[in-house]
């Protein structure tokens, strides 16, 4: 009996290939690489039908042209709006010409000085022994401010006094001898001369001792102390500066282009940052005849009235009034425009007037006094002209404008 695993293998006959739709049988056998010539069976796969693909509808002409048409219409609308806006007349404010007082002034920077300022120092040299006052102290005339070391001059005075006593004794003796007829008149005259010389030496030594004491020459305040105790100073060295704070003046430097318009008696109006609400008025009392070669300015002086609250050394904004007109033509400062400056001088000023037809005209003008809010016009316009308050930068001659109500 033969076992199942030992049975002879039978040749496998391939199944017939399925027929195609047209009745032909497709060959689905492959050669067996292990046994050439023998076919390898291939499993038959069932045919699965594919689902039908739906047809895509073709878009209409309106749908294809809708987006480009919208873009073209939007661009056309924007262009038309831009042309309309560009051709529209600008809206401007119009102002009239006013009449009022105008003050023409020359500006300068000034300082406050005392009319009486004294620099104090000893007429002799020496070492400073004591300093008795300081900056800001008030002093009276004759008050001691400092002293120098007196020891050397005290010794000189003692020697001079000894010589004086000897000269007096000798002169007395010679007078007695002359009275007895023992000596001559020449001897007496010589003794008298020596006595007088000794008296002069004593007086000189005492005066030099007095010069070692530095006293205040005037009533005032010490502006600066320029010495310390123990320092050696030369003769006539400045140790203190004393000024009278009750008598003040304004000192200002005026540009050489404006000085011909300033005269003795011209009024000034000064302002100080320490007193923002006050205006200090004075009159010009002195004009220096020579200018400063570096700043090209002339110094003017104006005495302040007594009782001024200003302090010595304060800085002032000074306006020197050179002309005053009570019925001047005034326009807003913003209505005036200028050409670019040429050669360091301001350009030609002009304003824009508005005619009855709404068209503007550029009118050159001559200016007088200028302030932060109003400007005086001396030539170019009349009292009935209408001006643009703030002319646009792109404005041209003959442009039409719309007046703001």
DSSP 165-182: HHHHHHHHHHHHHHHHTS
Torsion of CA 205, 208, 212, 213, to 10 degrees: 100
Residue 260 has pLDDT above 60, yes or no: yes
In which residue ranges of the chain is CATH 1.10.287.470 found? 151-211
pLDDT tens for 273-327 read 999 989 999 999 999 999 988 989 999 999 999 989 999 999 999 999 998 888 8
Label each residue of 221-259 as H, E or C: EEEEECCCCCCEECCCCCCEEEECCCCEEEEEEEECCCH
C-alpha 268/C-alpha 285 separation (Å) is: 11
Angle at 246 between CA 243 and CA 251, to 5 degrees: 70
As a residue count, the chain comes to 405
Q: Which range has highest mean pLDDT (5-19, 74-88, 351-365, 388-402)?
A: 351-365
Residue 22 has pLDDT above 50, yes or no: no
Average pLDDT over residues 43-53: 58
Burial of 177 (0-12, 13-18, 19+ CB in 10 A): middle
CATH topology of domain 107-115+245-324: Elongation Factor Tu (Ef-tu); domain 3 (2.40.30)
Cα–Cα separations (whole angstroms), residue 114 to 29, 221, 257: 133, 11, 28
C-alpha 149/C-alpha 154 separation (Å) is: 10
The DSSP line for 89-110 is PPEE-EE--EEEEEEEEEEEEE
> Which residue's structure tokens are 């010794």?
155
In which residue ranges of the chain is CATH 2.40.420.20 found? 91-101+325-403
Residue 89 has pLDDT above 80, yes or no: no
Residue 186 has pLDDT above 50, yes or no: yes
Confidence at 377, pLDDT banded by 50, 70, 90:
very high
State phi, psi for 231 to the nearest 5 degrees: -75, 150
Contact 266, 283 (CB under 8 A): yes
Confidence at 24, pLDDT banded by 50, 70, 90:
very low
pLDDT at 60: 60
CATH of span 151-211: 1.10.287.470
Burial of 257 (0-12, 13-18, 19+ CB in 10 A): exposed
Q: Which residues contact 286 (CB under 8 A, 6 or more apart)?
A: 264, 300, 301
10 Å Cβ neighbour count for 283? Answer: 13
C-alpha 364/C-alpha 340 separation (Å) is: 14
Confidence at 31, pLDDT banded by 50, 70, 90:
very low
In which residue ranges of the chain is CATH 2.40.30.170 found? 107-115+245-324
CATH of span 119-149+212-244: 2.40.50.100
CATH classification (class only), 91-101+325-403: mainly beta
Contact 280, 310 (CB under 8 A): yes
Task: Provide the percentage of residues in the chain whose pLDDT is more than 90.
Answer: 49
pLDDT at 36: 52
Contact 292, 252 (CB under 8 A): no
pLDDT at 244: 95
Residue 43 has pLDDT above 80, yes or no: no
């Amino acid at each position: 009996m033969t076992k199942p695993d030992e049975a002879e293998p039978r040749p496998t006959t391939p199944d017939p290939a399925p027929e195609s739709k047209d009745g032909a049988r497709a060959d689905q056998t492959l050669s067996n690489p292990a046994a050439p010539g023998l076919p390898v069976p291939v499993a038959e796969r069932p045919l699965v039908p594919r689902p039908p693909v739906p047809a895509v509808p073709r878009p209409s002409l309106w749908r294809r042209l809708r987006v480009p048409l919208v873009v073209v219409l939007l661009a056309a609308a924007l262009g038309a709006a831009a042309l309309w806006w560009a051709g529209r007349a600008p809206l401007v404010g119009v102002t009239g010409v006013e009449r009022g007082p105008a003050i023409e002034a020359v500006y300068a920077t000034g300082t406050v000085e005392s009319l009486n300022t004294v620099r104090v120092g000893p007429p002799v040299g020496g070492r400073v022994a004591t300093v008795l006052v300081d900056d800001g102290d008030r002093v009276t005339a004759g008050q001691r401010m400092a002293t120098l070391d007196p020891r050397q001059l005290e010794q000189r005075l003692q020697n001079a006094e000894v010589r004086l006593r000897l000269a007096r004794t000798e002169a007395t003796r010679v007078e007695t001898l002359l009275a007895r007829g023992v000596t001559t008149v020449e001897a007496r005259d010589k003794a008298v001369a020596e006595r007088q010389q000794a008296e002069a030496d004593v007086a000189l030594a005492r005066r030099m001792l007095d010069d070692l004491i530095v006293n205040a020459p005037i009533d005032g305040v010490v502006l600066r102390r320029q010495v310390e105790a123990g320092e050696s100073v030369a003769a006539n060295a400045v140790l203190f500066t004393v000024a009278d704070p009750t008598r003040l003046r304004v000192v200002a430097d005026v540009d050489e282009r404006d000085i011909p318009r300033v005269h003795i008696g011209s009024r000034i109006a000064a302002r100080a940052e320490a007193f923002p609400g006050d205006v200090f008025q004075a009159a010009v009392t002195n004009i220096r005849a020579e200018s400063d070669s570096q700043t090209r300015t002339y110094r003017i002086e104006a005495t302040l009235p007594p009782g001024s609250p200003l302090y010595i050394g304060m800085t002032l904004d000074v306006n020197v009034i050179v002309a005053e007109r009570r019925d001047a033509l005034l326009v807003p400062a913003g209505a005036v425009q200028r050409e670019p400056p040429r050669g360091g001088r301001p350009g030609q000023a002009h304003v824009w007037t508005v005619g009855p037809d709404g068209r503007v005209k550029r009118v050159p003008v001559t200016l007088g006094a200028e302030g932060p809010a109003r400007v005086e016009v001396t030539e170019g316009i009349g009292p009935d002209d209408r001006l643009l308050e703030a002319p646009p930068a792109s404005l041209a001659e003959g442009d039409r404008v719309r007046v703001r109500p």
